[in-house]
């Protein structure tokens, strides 16, 4: 794979492929298809795929450790998922969430460097532009803690290598902003919100993100077919193209954490002749390495 050329990993045709996570113990990539309510897996050694069907829309996942399953932000709360090779998916509610209004679900989320699970919520109908979304934090054997509010479509959650800077965006067309926060690793509390990148003059809306070993922030430019890399100072460093208009989220993986996997969206009801691979999963070799994804362990 070339440094600037995306290769098709899987013609998955996901409606909304999101939350790719590299599972190092299995040498496998997991992700979700939100409206299809699917947990998906691609195994690097065989190229085989497997899907599990959940009872609610799945939006974001984080590993619980080797053979321990997953924690997932879904529609009504945060759940524990245990997939089985025979196709069964055991689902158990860890913590319910009382949404601000009807018609909401979780969206983007991941664990911080200390193993807390953080995830944002949104109103399903983005056309409403309702700023009812919140960012929650969950630790084991506790209730979800609301950290921030006032988002339309919270996205782009990521943490610096030392865990002391938290990144978060709002990908709604009326906002298109990425913020940075100071992050207290002892208490799991963000503070000192400031604009990291104003995406309005740049191509694409800010969607899912990842951080590399250099501390640079990679984020999908939804609607622009690009994945952008920003330095810790918020300077646009590189933009890599993918052959679809709506890349959704990126994640580092592979044996050397040097592959950037990108999931994407396959819009319904529009002509896709110019992007037949929409909804696919892609792989790039950007020449940098990522960081191991933290597990839910706090």
Give the 3-state DSSP-derived string for 117-149, with helices as H, strands as E and coil as C.
Answer: EEEEEEECCHHHCCCCEEEEEECCCCCCEEEEE
Write down the pLDDT at residue 279. Answer: 98
295 in a structural domain: no
pLDDT digits (tens, 9 = 90+) for 207-258: 999 999 999 999 999 999 999 999 999 999 999 999 999 999 999 999 999 9
In a domain, 242, yes or no: yes
The Cα–Cα gap between 285 and 87 comes to: 32
Residue 39 has what pLDDT? Answer: 98
- Whether residue 291 is contained in a domain is answered as no
- Measured CA to CA, the distance from residue 207 to residue 244 in angstroms comes to 14
Q: Which of 4-8, 122-126, 207-211 shows the lowest mean pLDDT across its residues?
A: 4-8
| Domain total of the chain | 1
Catalytic residue among 170, 207, 212, 258: 207
At 38-92, the pLDDT tens digits run 999 999 999 999 999 999 999 999 999 988 999 999 999 999 999 999 999 999 9
Contacts of 206 (CB under 8 A, 6+ apart): 155, 156, 169, 170, 171, 176, 177, 178, 197, 199, 219, 220, 221, 222
Asked whether residue 298 is assigned to any structural domain, the reply reads: no
CA contacts within 13 A on the Cβ side of 44: 17
Name which residue leads in pLDDT, 67 or 137: 137
Q: pLDDT per residue over 141-187, tens digit each?
A: 889 999 999 999 999 999 999 999 999 999 999 999 999 999 999 99
Establish if 172 belongs to a structural domain: yes
Its domain, for residue 257, covers 7-284
Is 296 domain-assigned?
A: no
Q: Is the pLDDT of residue 2 over 90?
A: no
What letter would DSSP give residue 63? E
- Asked about 207 being catalytic, the answer comes back as yes
Per-residue b or e along 5-28, where b marks 16 or more CB atoms closer than 10 Å to that residue's CB: ebeebbebbbbbbbbbbbbeeeeb
Does the pTM surpass 0.95? The reply is yes
Residues in the chain: 298
Alpha-carbon 27 to chain mean position: 19
| CATH number of the domain enclosing 150 | 2.120.10.30
**Residue 14 falls within a domain, yes or no?**
yes
């Amino acid at each position: 794979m070339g440094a600037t050329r995306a290769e098709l990993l899987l013609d998955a045709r996901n409606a909304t492929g999101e939350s790719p996570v590299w599972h190092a113990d299995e040498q496998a990539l997991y992700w979700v298809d939100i409206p299809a309510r699917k947990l998906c897996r691609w195994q690097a050694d065989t190229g085989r795929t497997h899907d599990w069907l959940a009872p609610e829309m799945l939006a974001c996942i984080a590993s619980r450790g080797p053979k321990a399953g997953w924690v997932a932000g879904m529609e009504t709360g945060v759940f524990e998922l245990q997939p089985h090779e025979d196709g069964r998916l055991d689902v158990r509610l860890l913590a319910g969430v009382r949404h601000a209004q009807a018609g909401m679900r979780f969206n983007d989320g991941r664990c911080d460097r200390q193993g807390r699970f953080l995830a944002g919520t949104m109103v399903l109908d983005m056309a409403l532009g309702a700023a009812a979304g919140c960012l929650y934090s969950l630790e084991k054997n506790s209730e979800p803690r609301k950290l921030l509010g006032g988002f339309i479509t919270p996205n782009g959650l990521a943490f610096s290598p030392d865990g002391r800077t938290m990144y978060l965006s709002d990908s709604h067309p009326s906002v298109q902003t990425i913020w940075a926060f100071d992050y207290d690793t002892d208490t799991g509390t963000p503070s000192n919100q400031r604009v990291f990148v104003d995406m309005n003059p740049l191509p694409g809306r800010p969607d899912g993100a990842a951080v590399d070993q250099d501390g640079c922030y990679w984020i999908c430019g939804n609607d622009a077919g690009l994945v952008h890399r920003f330095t810790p100072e918020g300077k646009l460093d590189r933009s890599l193209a993918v052959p679809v208009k709506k890349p959704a989220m990126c994640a580092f993986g592979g044996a050397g954490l040097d592959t950037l996997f990108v999931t994407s969206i396959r819009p319904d009801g529009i002509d896709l002749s110019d992007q037949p691979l929409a909804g696919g999963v892609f792989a790039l070799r950007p020449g940098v390495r990522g960081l191991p994804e933290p597990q839910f362990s706090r």
